[in-house]
Amino acid sequence: MKINIRYTTIAILSIIIFSAAILLTINFLDKYEDSINKGQNKSVQSIQPYSDSPINVTNNHVVMQKIRVMENNWEGVTLLFSNYNAPDRIVDILIEDESSGEKIIQTNFLSSEINNQTPQKVFHFNQIKDSKGKNYNITISSNSKELSDNSVVTWYSNYNAYSQGDLYINGEKKAYDLTMSLIYSSPVLPKVKILIITAIVILLMLVVSVFLFFKKWPIHKLFVVFSLISGIVFAVILPPSTDEWAHFNRAYSISEGNIVLPSKGDTTGSYIPSSLRDLNAYYKDLYSWQKGLEEELNQNDKVFVAFPNSGVYSPVPYLSQSIGILFGRFLDLSPLIVFIISRIMNLVSWAVLLYFAIKRIPYGKSLIFGLALLPISIETAASCSADALLFASSFLLIAEILNIYHNPIKRIEKDNIKLLAVIICIIALCKPGFCLLALLLFVIPSQYYGSGKKYVYTNTLILASGGILTLLWTLLVGKSSDALAVWMQNIYGPGIDSKEQLINVLRDPTVFVKATIHAIDGEKQLYYWQMFLKTWVTPYAPTLFMIIYSFVFILSLIFESDPIRDTISIRGKSIMVGVFLLISMAIYGIFYLTITPVGALGIKGTQGRYFIPLLPVLLLTVKSKWSISVKSSDVLLANLLFYISFFGVLYSMLSYYLIYK
């Protein structure tokens, strides 16, 4: 069946997507205005995030904190107070301009109003629009003159990170500062301005897409451009994901030569600069982000940080990140810059491997392109994640095997064997379960090897190389594995016992089968959402746009011209389907044994993104009944996929920082 798709069809799709983008922007503006009306446009500067010790503000004590305000539109301060059985005493608060003596706020409260469960007290005042760079004094005192064991206290931190001010108690300067936060009102962008900026961005994207289309770049080159554009946006402004700090710490430790993590008690970790111990703090607001750019790395001021969840990983998935960190350490760059460089290095290595994967695969280029450009794929690549190299290497292995299969000379060369062995070893050292992808080698006909004996011997040797490396690394990190087991029990509960779970499965394998079926049936919609809609910040993603992405992605699969696609034998396709099922079951099995309580009906921890490297193995066994006659249709659809993905990323970031944050 022959179908002719004209350029007008692509133009109509572009108009629909452009219109949807404008409608979603208008919807976003309504949400933004609503958040402003609710007072959500606030940012917070933490002077001292840690509360280590108390300061008595009764018994004749006067506490004064000098501060330098770093932003305009200052409108409030948060202080911590606790009440130790003090009777009704009045606590006075005075904030004044140090240079002019002008009183910003003078107020008080009763000690009985203090709630020790929620010790924060917020003091608001009229917004000071030109507060940036000015010095202010915050004074806390009480009307109590008698000495008593019962008291009201505020808190200070022994970790003195605030160099812009000093703390005085009864006029005596101290070497620490109050635990407190300053509240700013973020500037409100006019709705018309946001709409105009969004329209300009969308039009620029269309211009870039049209330009690249008429440049007639092949799809693998387009991928590098598109993935780096989206990826760098992610790398710079995306907040760290839940466990990214652990992976970054692992990469930092490797940059210092720590291949195997040292242990401390029942955990494993490493000594990391204290400026890196809370990466999320740099993404709270614009002020925190700027602070992360200005703060010194201070490589000699280190603290021990435990990260057993990444300690079991080999150095291989962190090599590019470690090189970036080493570069940042050599130049003594700021903590945030070091973090961003490590992300970008991970992104670049991922993009390079996928460039070759898309280039070398004989068909299914749009499939690899579309899966790699999913927002969750871009996020994985542009973060300190061990999965980026796994995803890219898996795609490259599949591409190389299919390239050999469809090679006109019908022969596998020594260079092919070496490359396949290297890729499989990399995969094994990223995630051991995925080294089962090496079974795809048996898709290649035995005659390509010269004889059946060489076919079995060569493939078995390559398989064994991945397995042996996995075994050696597992033996090398025995203590890290024990620490991980303790960590998992602390996180997921005491009902986890891998040995007992394995005994149950061996006794009755149907228990695991039922749990897997239950997990698939209960999570199938979630898996789709996690693959096509989700990133770390995209509970706020435009669902409509990502549904359109799914539609265009399916179109690219249906209408991709690939006359050789159906030349894989039934035996080869059966092996591909079998490998997909085997690794899928291995994924469920690992999570069932490690983080699922013994005997539970269901499996904890599985996510849709874990199956992304496997999807080409399954989908490339299917041949479309249609073919397309429009030249460069894959390039047109690739442009649309990028356009949708990038707008989804942009919308998500704006929603996160301007509304939901």
Q: What is the pLDDT of residue 630?
A: 46
Domain for residue 51, yes or no? yes
108, 314, 361, 520, 532 from 636: Cα distances, Å: 66, 40, 19, 35, 20
Mean pLDDT of the chain: 80
Q: Which long-range contacts (CB under 8 A, 24 or more apart) does 443-450 make?
A: 443/401, 443/405, 443/568, 443/572, 443/575, 443/576, 444/401, 444/404, 444/405, 444/412, 445/405, 445/410, 445/569, 447/410, 448/404, 448/410, 448/411, 448/412, 449/412, 450/411
Give yes or no for residue 319 having a pLDDT over 60.
yes
Q: Which of 125, 137, 153, 131 is nearest to 54 (CA)?
A: 153
**Residue 622 domain-assigned (yes or no):** yes
The pLDDT of residue 288 is 67
Band (pLDDT 50/70/90 cuts) for residue 3 is very low
Closest CA to 614 of 250, 293, 368: 368
Is the domain of 546 the same as that of 397? yes
Consecutive H or E run containing 305? strand 302-306
Higher per-residue confidence, 128 vs 4: 128
The total number of structural domains that make up the chain:
2
Question: What pLDDT, in 10s, does the model give residues 594-642?
Answer: 888 887 777 877 787 888 899 899 888 876 555 554 455 566 667 677 7
Q: Residue by residue, what is the 3-state secondary structure of 603-658?
A: CCCCCHHHHHHHHHHHHCCCCCCCEECCCCHHHHHHHHHHHHHHHHHHHHHHHHHH
Kindly provide the b/e burial profile for residues 518-530, where b requires at least 16 CB atoms within 10 angstroms of the residue's own CB. ebeeebeeebebb
Which tokens hold the place of 190?
């006019």
Question: Quick check: is 35 in a domain?
Answer: no
Q: Give the end of a domain, one of 150, 185, 220.
A: 185
Q: Is residue 21 part of a domain?
A: no
191 falls within a domain? no
Strand ranges in 341-425 using DSSP code E only, listed in sequence order = none
Same domain? 237 vs 354: yes
> E-assigned strands of 6-150?
42-46, 53-56, 63-68, 74-84, 90-97, 103-110, 120-128, 135-142
Give yes or no: residues 220 and 126 share one domain.
no
pLDDT for the residue 21: 72
Q: What values do phi and psi take at 363, rounded to 5?
A: -155, 170
How many CA atoms lie within 13 Å of 112's alpha carbon, on the beta-carbon side? 3
Comparing CA positions, the residue from 371, 640, 659, 381 lying closest to residue 537 is 659
Task: Let me know whether 178 and 210 are in one domain.
Answer: no
Q: Let me know whether 317 and 359 are in one domain.
A: yes
Domain boundary among 130, 150, 185: 185
CA 269 to CA 308: how far, in whole Å?
6
Query: What pTM, to 2 d.p., does this model score?
Result: 0.75
Q: Give the pLDDT confidence score for residue 625 in this predicted structure.
A: 59
Q: Is residue 28 over pLDDT 90?
A: no
More confident residue, 37 or 384: 384
Q: Which two tokens stand for residue 117?
A: 């469960």
Q: List CB contacts of 187: < 8 A, sequence separation 6 or more.
A: 73
Q: What is the pLDDT of residue 70?
A: 77
**Do strands 267-273 and 263-264 pair parallel, antiparallel, or not at all (unpaired)?**
antiparallel
Of the spans 171-175, 416-420, 653-657, which averages the highest pLDDT? 416-420
Residues 443, 562 within the same domain = yes
CA quadruple 488, 493, 499, 501: dihedral, nearest 10: -120
- Taking each helix axis as running N to C, give the angle between helix 219-237 and helix 365-372, from 0 to 180 degrees, rounded to the nearest 10: 10
Same domain as 596, residue 483? yes
Same domain, 177 and 236: no
Identify whether residues 461 and 513 lie together within a single domain.
yes
DSSP string, 528-584: HHHHHT--TTGGGS-HHHHHHHHHHHHHHHHT---TTGGGS-HHHHHHHHHHHHHHH
- 120: domain CATH number? 2.60.120.820
What is the tens place of the pLDDT at every residue in 200-255?
Answer: 777 777 777 667 666 777 888 888 988 898 889 888 888 887 788 889 999 999 99
Q: Which two tokens stand for residue 194?
A: 């946001």
Q: Is it the case that residue 556 has pLDDT exceeding 80?
A: no
Q: What pLDDT is recorded for position 437? A: 92
Q: Note the pLDDT tens digit of each residue in 385-437.
A: 889 999 999 999 999 999 999 887 888 888 989 999 999 999 999 988 898 99
User: Residue 137: its pLDDT value, please?
Assistant: 94
Is residue 487 within a helix (H) or strand (E), and if so which, with residue range?
helix 478-492
How confident is the model over 179-192, as a mean pLDDT?
Answer: 74
Lookup result for tokens 């269309």: 206
Domain region containing 468 = 206-660
501-552 pLDDT, tens digit each: 888 888 888 888 888 888 887 776 667 666 766 665 555 556 666 677 777 7
190, part of any domain: no
Q: Is residue 181 domain-shared with residue 229, that is, in the same domain?
A: no
Q: Which of 122-136, 256-270, 281-295 has the highest mean pLDDT?
A: 122-136
404: amino acid identity, one letter:
I
Whether residue 278 sits in one domain with residue 168: no
Q: Which of 118, 152, 185 is the last residue of a domain?
A: 185
Q: Residue 197 falls within a domain, yes or no?
A: no
Same domain, 154 and 236: no
| Domain assignment present for 383 | yes
